[in-house]
Amino acid sequence: MLSSNFKNITISLIKERLLEQNYIASTQTATTLLLAVKLRKPIIVEGGAGVGKTSLAVAFSKAFDLDFFKLQCYEGVDESKALYEWEYGKQLLYTQILKDTLLKNREKNSTDELIESLHSFKSLFFSEEFLLERPILKALRNSKQSLLLLDEIDKSDPEFEAFLFEILSEYRVSIPELGTLEAKNIPIVFLTSNGQRSLSDPLRRRALYLYLDYPDREMEEQILLTHIPDISKVLLNQILNIIQITRDFPLKKHPGISEGIEWAKAILTLQGVDFNQESFSEKSLNLDFGKTETDLIDYSESTSKKYENSVLTKEIIVETLPVLVKYKSDYEFMVNHINSLI
């Protein structure tokens, strides 16, 4: 049964709700989300680092008021971290209490009676009272519909994928001591992948597929304006130009959406709050030093509107590059090609 939060859900409603969470979704993305809700199927969201895969899951959960559960995948993750484990400390405490109780009664009961009494407690120690739920089991047994994010599933082992098959197909789990536990409410499941390794066909067959690429200039402009609405048009264009150029460079890691947003914020931070002051670089104005003083005044007046708030000099770019790129080799490449950026 679908949550009441998804009543009358449409593609346009999904885009509208996500925009309220500062996430701009394409029609294709919204359509895939709609199908996931209606068909009750997981979504594999694939794409490079920083394109908004995890942010999409977080924004969708907030947009439709879903409880959020996340499992960060890594090599060696297993069901004890993903599904459940027994609270051994609590079991040990109860064992000691039981031991003390039996010792107190040993004079009143025979050995056989004590052993029989002990056996009666056998199932207690492996009951739900001692079950420690991990993200997957929490999502399945949550009192209302939730969103389960299996982040960076490509970093986990192929064996972990096989473990997920039953869960993603039947939305139930098998625990030897308790039997099969059915989902109280079927969660919306996101599996994100950076493409570190290829996911298996059986896993792909059980899910919808969404590929997120770096946004084009128009969409990235909307994204930046959503997060930094007061940014000047000139500075916005300069930032967009550099980000788009940088993604064509042979870097180890190209800047994602999040890096672009943080870079713009870093530039604003270094320049202070007020960006209405004029700050011109020789290159941005293409100054001709052969002009007379009167010519330069006329030139400045005719171009002040065009270059108002233009602040991206080489120095500012170099100082803020650590926000945009994440490897020393990429930083050095950018510095060596600084002239092509402005």
Q: What is the DSSP string of 287-298?
A: --TTS-HHHHHH
The pLDDT value recorded for residue 90 is 60
Q: Are strands 188-193 and 179-182 parallel, antiparallel or unpaired?
A: unpaired
The pLDDT value recorded for residue 110 is 57
* CATH architecture of structural domain 4-80+137-211: 3-Layer(aba) Sandwich (3.40)
Which tokens belong to 178?
């308790």
The pLDDT value recorded for residue 113 is 56
Helix and strand numbers (H, E) in the chain are 16, 9
- As averages over each run of 10 residues, the pLDDT of the chain (342 residues) reads 79 96 95 96 94 96 96 90 74 64 61 56 61 89 94 94 89 78 91 93 95 94 94 92 94 93 90 44 35 37 39 84 94 90 74
CA dihedral 281, 283, 284, 287 (to 10 degrees): 90
Of residues 8, 13, 152, the one with CA closest to residue 70: 152
Residue 56 phi, psi (nearest 5):
-65, -45
Which tokens belong to 253?
């890691």
The pLDDT value recorded for residue 9 is 94
Residues 6+ apart with CB under 8 A from 275: 231, 232, 235, 268, 309, 311
The pLDDT value recorded for residue 122 is 55
Which tokens belong to 44?
């594999």
For residue 3, how many other CB atoms are within 10 A of its CB?
17
The pLDDT value recorded for residue 340 is 80
What does the alpha-carbon distance between residue 88 and residue 77 come to, in Å, rounded to a whole number? 20
Tell me the CA distances in angstroms from 149 to 116, 179, 191, 255, 283, one per residue in order: 46, 25, 6, 23, 47
What does the alpha-carbon distance between residue 202 and residue 188 come to, in Å, rounded to a whole number? 19
Q: Are strands 131-133 and 146-151 parallel, antiparallel or unpaired?
A: unpaired
The pLDDT value recorded for residue 261 is 94
Helix (H, G, I), strand (E, B) or coil at 250: coil
Helix (H, G, I), strand (E, B) or coil at 342: coil
- Domains of the chain by residue range: 4-80+137-211, 85-129, 217-340
Sort residue 286 into left (φ over 0), alpha (ψ -120 to 50) or beta.
left
